[in-house]
Amino acid sequence: MSINEHIEDLIEKKASDFEISKLFKSYITDYKNSLPEIFERNQGKDFLVIHTKTLDSIISLMYKTVLRRLFGNYLPMRSSIPITFIALGSYGREQLCVHSDIDLMIVYEKNEGYNTSAIIEKFLYLAWDAGLKLGHRVHEVNDLLAASREDITIKTAMMESRLIIGSPFTWSATQNKLILIRHDNPKAFIMAKIEEANTRRRKFPFSMQPNIKESVGGLRDSQLLYWIAKTLYGVNTLKELSEDLFSEEQYREYRIALELLFRLRSALHLLTGKQQDQLVLDYMPRIAQMLGFSDEKKMVTRLLEAQWRINNFTQIYVKKMARIYLYDTNNISQLKQGRLIKGFYAVEGVLYASYHHTPPSIDLLLEMLVNLQDQEWIFDSSVLFHFTYTQIKHPLRVKTYTLIRKLFERQYLYVILKLFYDAGILHQLIGAFKKVLHLPQFDGYHQYPVDLHSIKCIEALENIKDPHVESLYKPLSITDKTLLKAVILLHDTGKGRKQDHSEVGTKLIIPFIKNLKLSSALYERAALLVRHHVLMTHVAYRENLYHEKTLYQFMSKIKTPENLKLLYILTYADVNGVGPGTYTGFGANLLHELYEASLEIASQNDRITDAIKRQNKEKRLTNDPQFSELSKIEQKKVLSIESNLFFFKHAPSEIINISKEAFHCQKFTYQLNIDGGLIIHIFRRIPLNLGYLLGKLSYLDVASMDIFTLFDGIKYFKIEFLQRPREGTMEQIEIILEEAFDMSRKLDLQKPIIKEDEITLDCDHSIHYAQLNLHTKNQRGLLAYFVQLFDESQINIATAKIHTNKNMARDHFLIEKQNRMCDNAREIIAKLIGE
C-alpha cells in the first residue's frame, strides 16, 4: 500500500492526528535511511535535486492531508484556497543538504471564506510532529515587502523563492511582490551582501580543513554570485549569463568545482548524521572512500583546487556585475590620470582594469608590474580577470624571465606572487610549482598547502619582526636578496615525491636561478640552502646548542658565515610562513643562539674550547657599563658562577639582571611573565619541590627549563611554557608556586609509558655534564614525572630542552655529573622506564 492510500485509509477510519503524524514520521525515517544508497547512485547536484523533490512531495502530501482532514468529502479546488507553500534559500535553489533546515515560507491572502490560519496551523503541527526540521515564515501577501526590509537575511531568502504547492493565484500575487523586493534598493542590498561576505571570509579563512559552506571558495561565495546576478538580471540560474558575462568554458570549470563541493558536503552530512560542514582530518579517509578517491590527500588536493576556482570566479564576476555600484562615476577623470597601459589604471595604491578589453600578453602585464612604484599594491578583481585569462605560451621567452627577475628584485614581491596564485598562473610562470599545486600538508605543523605556504614565506621575509634577522637582511645586496627570495619561494617545491623533498628541491632551484640569469657562482649556494632548509630548526629545537660537537657538525654542512646568514633568514621566513603563532619568542631565542654560536665557530681558525668561550663571554661582560656599576664583591660573585652553560646561554645584560635579582633573594623570590607563553623565573636559597610544581602545572606544555647554581647557595630556575594561562588563573599559579617550597607535598603522578630504546644516557657529553635523551610519545605530566624521579635519586638537572612535534616528545636533559651517576647509568634508566 502506498503512503497516499495508507493516509486515505486512516482518514476514512477517522484516525487521530497522532496516528497520521506517526505514519509520516515512519515514512520520513525510511526515506532518510535510504539516502546513503541514493547517494551511491546520484552524487553532487543530482543528489540534492532528488532530495529536494522528495521533500517537495512530502510537504505537498502533508498539505493535501490537512485539507482532506478539514474539508472531508467537500474538498474545494486547491487553486481557490488562497495559500501557497514556497521553498526559500538553498531549498529554493534545489541545493538543500541532508541535515540542513528546510526553509519554508507560507504566503496567504485574506479571504473570509477560508480560515487560512487554521489550515496553516494544522500543517505546521503535522510537519513538526512528523519530524521535519522546518525553518518557516508565514506572511500575508501584502506584508512581504515590509518583511523583506526588516532584515537582509529575510530578503536574501525571498530572492530564492520557488513554488512547491498552493494556489496559482496567490503565487502570482507573491511573484509580483518578489519582483518589487528585487528592485527595492538593489544597491544597498548588493553592498550589504558584499560586506557580509568580506566579514565571513575573514572569519573562515582558507584552510586545509575547510568549512565547505562558509570558507573562502566555499558554497557561500557561489551563492553571493547568484544573489547579485538575481538582483541585477532576474535570472533563475547563473548559467543564463553564459556568453554575456563569462564564456561557456569559464562557467563549465566553475560548475565542475561547485559539483565537488556539493558532493563533499552531502557526504559529510551523511557520514556524521548531522549538519557538519567542516571537513576535519578525522573524516577525510571515509569521505574519500565515499567519493571514490584513492586516498584523502588526492581528495583534498581536488577540494583546494575547487575552492581556488570558486574564489577566483566569484571575485572576478561579483566585481564585474557590481561595478556600477562600486565605482563612483565622478572619479573617471582620476582613473584616466592614472592610466598605465590600455585599460589599466593606478589610483592611490590600487590597480584597476577595464573588463571591456581583451587580456594583454603576459609580457605586457609583467612589464606593467615592473614599472609600478615598488610598494604593497592592492590589485582589484578587474586586474585579477586579466591575469587569469591572459595567454601564456611555453617555453617562456627570455624576455619573460628577465621581467620575472626584475619582479624578484623588488622590495615588495609578495603581493605580486599572491596575484599570480589567485589568477592560477604561478605554476605557469614558475614550473617548479606544477607538482605542488594545492598540495596539502597534514603533518600536524603546516597550516597551508605547499604553494600557499611558499608565498606566505615571502610575505614573512618582507615583514620581518625579529630585529636580529632584520639587521642581517637589510644590508644584503640586491643579488643576495634575489637569490634568497628564489630559494625561499622554491624551498618546498620538491614535496609530493617519494624522494626526500630537500634533495628534489636542489634539482628544481638551479634551472630557475639559471633562467633568472643569476651568476653561476651562486648555484652551489642555492642548492645548499634548499638542501639544508630544515637543518637549523632541527638543530635549534632538538639538539644541545652548547656542545662543540653539535656546532661543528652543523657548520660542516653550512660551510661559510655567508651561507649561515642566509640560512638563518630563510629559516625565519619558513617558520613564519607555517601560520600565525608558529614563530614564538622561545623559538626565536633558540635560532638566534644557534646563529651566534655557529658564527663564532665559523670565524675561528682554531678549535674553540669551552674555556675560550667562557673567557670571551667574561670579557664582554666586564666591558658592559652595567657591570662596572656593581660593587667589587658583586662583580666577584658573578664571575664566580661555575656553570659555563649559564654564561653561554645569556647575554651580558641578562647575566647582570639575573645576578641583581639573586643578590636580593633571602629565602625565595619569583617572577611571572606572560608576554608570549608563561615564563616563571625562580630564585631560591631553600629547597624547591620542582616535581610538585611541574605536576600541578602539567596542563601547560613546557618548552624549556634551565636550572643554574649561582652564588651564596642560590639556584636560579627558568621554566618556559608554550601557552599563556587562562584568564583569571594567575593567582592560582602564584599559590602553587608558594606551595612548591613545601618539600613534604607529593603528587601521585601517572607513570608515563617509556620503552627502553626511547631513552639514552650519554656520559661522555662533557667533563661536567651527561646528556639524557628521550624520544617517546608525548604524555601529560611527562616532565614532572622525570623531575620527581631525578629529585628522589638526587640528580641535578642543569637544563632541559623540551620539543614536541607530531605528538612525539623529543626531550634532552643536561645532568650534572655527581653521586657516581654515570657508574649507575643502567639503574637510572631502569628506574625511569619502571623496570
Is residue 746 domain-resident? yes
CA–CA separation, 416 and 351 (whole Å): 12
> Which of the four pLDDT bands, split at 50, 70 and 90, describes residue 113?
confident
Is residue 354 domain-resident? no
Is residue 262 domain-resident? yes
| Cα three-residue angle 328-332-338, rounded to 5 degrees | 120
- Predicted confidence at residue 34, as pLDDT, reads 94
For 50, residues 6+ apart whose C-beta sits below 8 A from its C-beta are 38, 42
CA–CA separation, 304 and 302 (whole Å): 6
CA–CA separation, 337 and 34 (whole Å): 64
> Which of the four pLDDT bands, split at 50, 70 and 90, describes residue 331?
low
Q: Are residues 460 and 321 in the same domain?
A: no
Q: Are residues 504 and 535 in the same domain?
A: yes
Which domain covers residue 622, as residue numbers?
Answer: 611-655
The last residue of a domain, from among 277, 307, 326: 326
Sign of CA dihedral 775, 776, 777, 779: negative
Q: Are residues 112 and 241 in the same domain?
A: no
Q: Are residues 649 and 699 in the same domain?
A: no
CA–CA separation, 159 and 86 (whole Å): 11
Is residue 7 domain-resident? yes
Is residue 81 predicted with pLDDT exceeding 70? yes
> Which of the four pLDDT bands, split at 50, 70 and 90, describes residue 371?
very high
Q: Which of 811, 746, 752 is nearest to 782 (CA)?
A: 752
Q: Domain of 691: which CATH number?
A: 3.30.70.260
- Predicted confidence at residue 328, as pLDDT, reads 67
203-237 pLDDT tens trace: 999 889 999 999 999 999 999 999 999 999 999 89
The overall pTM is greater than 0.85: no
Are 455 and 206 in contact by the 8 Å Cβ rule? The answer is: no
Q: In the sheet where 344-347 sits, what is the strand order?
A: 344-347, 350-353, 378-379
> Which of the four pLDDT bands, split at 50, 70 and 90, describes residue 834?
low
Q: Are residues 735 and 776 in the same domain?
A: yes
Q: What are 520's three cell numbers?
A: 653561476
Is residue 29 domain-resident? yes
Question: pLDDT higher for 359 or 747?
Answer: 359
Is residue 735 predicted with pLDDT exceeding 90? yes
CA–CA separation, 57 and 44 (whole Å): 21
Is residue 821 predicted with pLDDT exceeding 70? no
Q: What are 66's three cell numbers?
A: 490537512
Q: Are residues 97 and 162 in the same domain?
A: yes
CA 771, distance to chain mean position in Å, is 37
425-472 pLDDT tens trace: 999 999 999 999 999 998 888 999 999 999 999 999 999 999 999 999
Q: Which of 741, 729, 676 is nearest to 699 (CA)?
A: 729
Q: Are residues 222 and 266 in the same domain?
A: yes
Question: pLDDT higher for 706 or 420?
Answer: 420
Beta strand segments in 57-188, E: 83-87, 102-108, 134-140, 162-166
Are 379 and 388 in contact by the 8 Å Cβ rule? The answer is: no
Report how many domains make up the chain: 5
Q: Domain of 164: which CATH number?
A: 3.30.460.10
Dihedral (Cα; 195, 198, 200, 201), 10-degree rounding: 170
- Predicted confidence at residue 29, as pLDDT, reads 94
Is residue 606 predicted with pLDDT exceeding 60? no
Cα Rg, the chain, nearest whole Å: 34
CA–CA separation, 596 and 590 (whole Å): 10
23-51 pLDDT tens trace: 999 999 999 999 999 999 999 899 999 99
- How many C-beta atoms surround the C-beta of residue 587 within 10 A? 20
Q: What's the whole-number mean pLDDT along residues 260-276?
A: 95
Is residue 96 predicted with pLDDT exceeding 80? yes
Q: Are residues 501 and 585 in the same domain?
A: yes
The last residue of a domain, from among 579, 602, 625: 602
- Predicted confidence at residue 653, as pLDDT, reads 92
Question: SS3 of 733, please?
Answer: helix
CA–CA separation, 568 and 563 (whole Å): 9
Percent with pLDDT over 90 in the chain: 67
Q: Are residues 556 and 634 in the same domain?
A: no
> Which of the four pLDDT bands, split at 50, 70 and 90, describes residue 95?
very high
Phi, psi (rounded to 5 degrees) for 289: -65, -45
289-322 pLDDT tens trace: 999 999 999 999 999 999 999 999 999 999 999 9
Q: What are 564's three cell numbers?
A: 649561515
The last residue of a domain, from among 150, 184, 218: 184
CA–CA separation, 186 and 232 (whole Å): 8
Percent with pLDDT over 70 in the chain: 96
Is residue 807 predicted with pLDDT exceeding 90? no
Is residue 341 domain-resident? no
Q: What's the whole-number mean pLDDT along residues 360-382?
A: 96
CA 700, distance to chain mean position in Å, is 23
Are 114 and 82 in contact by the 8 Å Cβ rule? The answer is: yes
* Span of 217-231, 481-495, 662-676, 785-799 with lowest mean pLDDT: 785-799
Q: Are residues 295 and 158 in the same domain?
A: no
- Which residue matches cell numbers 487553486? 79
Beta strands at 134-140 and 350-353: parallel, antiparallel or unpaired? unpaired
Are 89 and 226 in contact by the 8 Å Cβ rule? The answer is: no
Q: Are residues 593 and 673 in the same domain?
A: no
Is residue 361 domain-resident? no
- Predicted confidence at residue 756, as pLDDT, reads 81
CA–CA separation, 228 and 222 (whole Å): 10
787-798 pLDDT tens trace: 777 777 777 777
> Which of the four pLDDT bands, split at 50, 70 and 90, describes residue 411?
very high
Q: Which long-range CB contacts under 8 A does 30-35 form with residues at least 24 apart?
A: 31/58, 32/98, 35/98, 35/270
Is residue 207 domain-resident? yes
Q: What are 481's three cell numbers?
A: 636578496
Q: Domain of 217: which CATH number?
A: 1.20.120.330
Q: Are residues 273 and 232 in the same domain?
A: yes
CA–CA separation, 688 and 669 (whole Å): 11
Q: Domain of 540: which CATH number?
A: 1.10.3210
Q: What's the whole-number mean pLDDT along residues 163-192?
A: 95
Are 354 and 382 in contact by the 8 Å Cβ rule? The answer is: yes
> Which of the four pLDDT bands, split at 50, 70 and 90, describes residue 824?
low
| Cα three-residue angle 562-567-568, rounded to 5 degrees | 100
Are 410 and 375 in contact by the 8 Å Cβ rule? The answer is: no
- Which residue matches cell numbers 640560512? 567
